[in-house]
Amino acid sequence: MKRFALLGEPLGHSVSPALHKAIYRQLELDDASYRTVELPNERLKSFFTGFRVGGFDGVNVTIPHKASVISLLDEVDSKAKLINAVNCVNRVGNKLTGYNTDLLGFAYSLRQNSVAIEGEEFAIIGAGGSAQAVGVALAEGDAKQVSIVNRSEERAQALKDVIALSGENTKIEIIQEEDLEKRAGKLKCLINTTPVGMSPATRECPLTTKTTDAIFDQDLVVFDLIYNPLQTTLLKRAEKKGSMAINGLQMLVAQAVYSVEIWMGGNIVTHVDVNALARDVEKAIK
Ligand code: NAP
């Protein structure tokens, strides 16, 4: 039996066990299990001692441990190192290697929605762990420009530095929300990476109506990494103005499938029905 788990705290709301079980069902893997392990920081080290000697075959890592697990690993993939966030750990023998599949999941979702990156302009709202994965994916795809809007200047600067290391063809600027209006008509895609609007505070929106009214139109794509609810207030406003609206569900499913690829080997992402998996997760959310 292959044993996998999600580490984090708190995990009460997690849809990951339902998602992974749906992936294993599609792949007809009868001998794989996936469970949540709610773990405070002080128990992380002892968990990894047991994991290393065979407690689990692989784990996913979520808030608040994505950065702190790095010091407990033998190797970290270069992109995960750059982002300073590991969300997937693979064990081969007693050796533990860390990866970041959020980045792959985000790029997958853009591709599936035919949103090109190369030569296009993007805006990222937020500058945390997921913003770093998004920023690196955009720079690697040779985006023309990335504008960062974030509450704290310090994290915006850290995100700018990480994006700058990922692609020399991408211009990066830190702006205020009001400055987004100047980018109207030039922006290809706006991406919310903050938790603002997530359940239960679903009426909240990371941008004011003044901004969304000024920049949302049929030429803009609005991508919200949130998947609960499936349609955030931001995405409702986007659809009302004719913008293409993408929620975080497909990215969530894809990052999970990429984790399974890392654990099991082989090219799994092209062999599973991601949309069917997304429907399974939708049922778990509702
Ligand atoms: P994080 O590292 O904590 O970063 C959150 C960012 O949001 C920070 O930059 C923070 O600003 C900003 N922020 C938080 N609350 C805010 C508020 N009230 N007003 C303005 N800005 C605020 O979190 P994360 O790991 O990046 O996750 C962010 C969201 O992405 C979550 O909703 C998560 O569920 C979602 N996510 C989805 C997927 C997927 O597969 N769909 C994957 C990863 C994450 P400061 O820098 O000023 O603190």
Give the residue from 278, 272, 262, 259 showing the smallest Cα distance to 60. 259
Distance 197 CA to ligand 1 centre (A): 11
Same fold, 2-100+250-285 and 104-247: yes
Give the pLDDT confidence score for residue 119 in this predicted structure: 98
Give the pLDDT confidence score for residue 115 in this predicted structure: 98
Give the pLDDT confidence score for residue 224 in this predicted structure: 98
Establish whether 188 is a catalytic residue.
no
Query: 127-152: buried (b, 16+ CB within 10 Å) or exposed (e) per residue?
Result: bbbbbbbbbbbbbbbebbbbbbbbee
Instruction: Pick the residue whose CA is nearest to atom 39 on ligand 1.
Output: 252
Alpha carbons 223 and 130: distance in angstroms, whole number: 13
Instruction: Pick the residue whose CA is nearest to atom 20 on ligand 1.
Output: 151
Residue 129 corresponds to which tokens in the numbers above? Answer: 């762990």
pLDDT digits (tens, 9 = 90+) for 221-271: 999 999 999 999 999 999 999 999 999 999 999 999 999 999 999 899 999
Q: Say if domain 2-100+250-285 classifies as CATH 3.40.50.10860.
A: yes
Alpha carbons 224 and 123: distance in angstroms, whole number: 12
Give the residue from 203, 210, 153 showing the smallest Cα distance to 184. 210
Note the CATH number of domain 104-247: 3.40.50.720
Residue whose CB lies within 8 A of the most ligand 1 atoms, among 113, 194, 196, for a mutation test: 194
Give the pLDDT confidence score for residue 113 in this predicted structure: 97
* Beta pairing, strands 32-38 & 2-8: parallel
Distance 50 CA to ligand 1 centre (A): 31
Q: Which of 66, 79, 160, 188 is catalytic?
A: 66
Instruction: Pick the residue whose CA is nearest to atom 18 on ligand 1.
Output: 196
Give the pLDDT confidence score for residue 74 in this predicted structure: 98
Give the pLDDT confidence score for residue 286 in this predicted structure: 74
For the chain, what are the domain ranges?
A: 2-100+250-285, 104-247
User: What are the residue ranges in the chain where pLDDT is below 70?
Assistant: none
CA 148, 197, 15, 8 torsion: positive or negative? positive
Give the pLDDT confidence score for residue 207 in this predicted structure: 98
Residue whose CB lies within 8 A of the most ligand 1 atoms, among 68, 225, 255, 281, for a mutation test: 225
Question: pTM score, two decimals?
Answer: 0.96
Give the pLDDT confidence score for residue 140 in this predicted structure: 96
